[in-house]
């Protein structure tokens, strides 16, 4: 009975959770990622993710006493993952998916099996396991270490290995275009040359209107982006005559709307927390997280409703 209760308690932490607090004697509050929660022991493996991630880092998780982690650390929202790591495959760039899958295939054997994961996280056996694995794949040992660190650092799932394109380059700053239209000329400009019908640049005032329209129609009324654009034309640009000469085009609106939706978390509010978690958020861990435990769990997907039978 005691063993069953202890194993049930361990479920308080899930693989991929971000924890914050003062765990060790140095009295310093740090960020940690839960890399693995063994079912047969009262311990948890944590990766210190404090500070900025660097591509060359090969930091490894360390075993910590579960009671200490439970008493001294708190689960907090994950702000470490990049926005694209929460996207579905259909929203990702095909080249990014290819890089992600190639990287994951290099470490899959080390993290998908609980037996291999235990050997990988054990400091006594880790070196030999990774050297053997790297030799078999004909890649360097350091590359395997770096991929493992990135996998655990950014959430312990396949999308954690996406290229960090949103963090590349200097932070930069937004620049406003002048009076001359930027970008590819539209068909009217190509046929007749520059005129008031050639379109115009998107301004800060336009972006404020985009945000207002997206909040009102895309989030609250569940309009599509073209429907939102039409509604915005009526509510925010009522004197547009002709419309395409005064207000930004549909292509411009969609281009900026996708960035604004991601930056302001609008898709999550549009779907609702429950639906977003069910359909959009990547699931960390593996099937073993729900199939192994104090009881046997049978997950049946052959019916419309989600059904789980748990034996005593």
pLDDT band at 7 (very low <50, low <70, confident <90, very high): very low
**Highest-scoring range by mean pLDDT, 38-47, 60-69, 268-277:** 60-69
Distance CA 201, CA 210 (A): 14
- Of the candidates 193, 173, 196, the one whose C-alpha atom is nearest the C-alpha of residue 185 is 193
Residue in the block written with tokens 């005593």: 312
pLDDT value at 213 more than 50? yes
**pLDDT for res 45:** 92
CA angle 200, 201, 202 (to 5 degrees): 120
**pLDDT for res 307:** 58
Q: Is the dihedral of CA 13, 15, 20, 23 positive or negative?
A: positive
pLDDT band at 2 (very low <50, low <70, confident <90, very high): very low
Mean pLDDT, the chain, rounded, equals 81
Residue in the block written with tokens 């547009």: 240
pLDDT digits (tens, 9 = 90+) for 112-131: 888 888 899 988 899 999 99
pLDDT value at 26 more than 80? no
| Torsion, Cα of 300, 151, 92, 55 (10° steps) | 180
> What's 284's DSSP letter?
P
- Give 151's contacts (C-beta < 8 A, 6+ positions apart): 104, 107, 111, 160, 161
In the chain, DSSP finds a helix count (H) and a strand count (E) of 14, 7
Q: List Cα–Cα distances, 184 to 51, 175, 180, 188, 242, in angstroms.
A: 41, 18, 12, 11, 21
pLDDT band at 215 (very low <50, low <70, confident <90, very high): very high
> What's 26's DSSP letter?
T
> What's 217's DSSP letter?
I
Length reported for the chain: 312
pLDDT value at 103 more than 80? yes
Q: Decide the pairing of beta strands 18-22 and 29-36.
A: antiparallel
pLDDT digits (tens, 9 = 90+) for 155-194: 999 999 999 887 776 666 766 666 677 777 777 677 776 6
Main-chain dihedrals φ then ψ at residue 240, nearest 5 degrees: -70, 110
CB 210 within 8 A of CB 260: yes
**pLDDT for res 110:** 92
What's the CATH number for 13-76?
A: 2.30.30
Copy the structure tokens of residue 244.
Answer: 């395409």
Main-chain dihedrals φ then ψ at residue 145, nearest 5 degrees: -60, -45
Copy the structure tokens of residue 205.
Answer: 């005032």
Average pLDDT score over residue span 81-95: 87
Distance CA 246, CA 250 (A): 12
**pLDDT for res 279:** 76
> What's 216's DSSP letter?
I
Q: 198 in helix, strand or coil?
A: helix
Average pLDDT score over residue span 258-278: 85
Q: Decide the pairing of beta strands 297-300 and 18-22.
A: unpaired
- Give 81's contacts (C-beta < 8 A, 6+ positions apart): 154, 155, 160
Copy the structure tokens of residue 88.
Answer: 């579905």
**Highest-scoring range by mean pLDDT, 1-10, 15-24, 194-203:** 15-24
Alpha-carbon Rg for the chain, nearest whole angstrom, is 25
**pLDDT for res 243:** 46
Distance CA 196, CA 199 (A): 7
């Amino acid at each position: 009975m005691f063993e069953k209760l202890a194993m049930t308690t361990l479920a308080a932490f899930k693989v991929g959770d971000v924890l914050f607090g003062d765990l060790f004697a140095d009295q310093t509050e740090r960020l940690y990622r839960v890399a693995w929660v063994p079912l047969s022991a009262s311990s948890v493996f944590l990766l210190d993710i404090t500070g900025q991630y660097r591509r060359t880092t090969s930091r490894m998780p360390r075993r910590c006493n579960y009671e200490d982690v439970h008493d001294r650390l708190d689960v907090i929202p994950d702000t470490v993952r990049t926005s694209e790591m929460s996207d579905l495959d259909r929203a990702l760039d095909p080249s990014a998916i290819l890089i992600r899958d190639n990287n994951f295939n290099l470490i899959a054997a080390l993290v998908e099996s609980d037996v291999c994961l235990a050997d990988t996280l054990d400091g006594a056996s880790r070196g030999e396991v990774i050297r053997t694995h790297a030799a078999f794949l004909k890649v360097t040992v350091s590359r395997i270490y770096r991929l493992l660190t990135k996998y655990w650092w950014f959430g312990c799932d396949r999308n954690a290995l996406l290229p960090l394109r949103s963090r590349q380059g200097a932070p930069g700053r937004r620049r406003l275009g002048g009076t001359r239209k930027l970008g590819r000329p539209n068909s009217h400009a190509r046929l007749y040359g520059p005129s008031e019908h050639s379109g115009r640049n998107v301004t800060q005032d336009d972006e404020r209107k985009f945000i207002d329209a997206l909040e009102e129609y895309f989030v609250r009324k569940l309009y599509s982006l073209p429907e939102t654009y039409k509604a915005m034309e009526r509510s925010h640009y009522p004197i547009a005559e002709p419309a395409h000469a005064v207000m930004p085009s549909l292509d411009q609106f969609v281009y900026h709307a996708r960035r604004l939706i991601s930056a302001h978390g609008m898709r999550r509010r549009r779907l609702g927390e429950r639906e977003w978690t069910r359909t959009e958020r990547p699931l960390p861990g593996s099937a073993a997280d729900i199939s192994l435990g104090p009881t046997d769990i049978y997950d049946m997907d052959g019916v419309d409703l989600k059904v789980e039978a748990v034996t005593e």
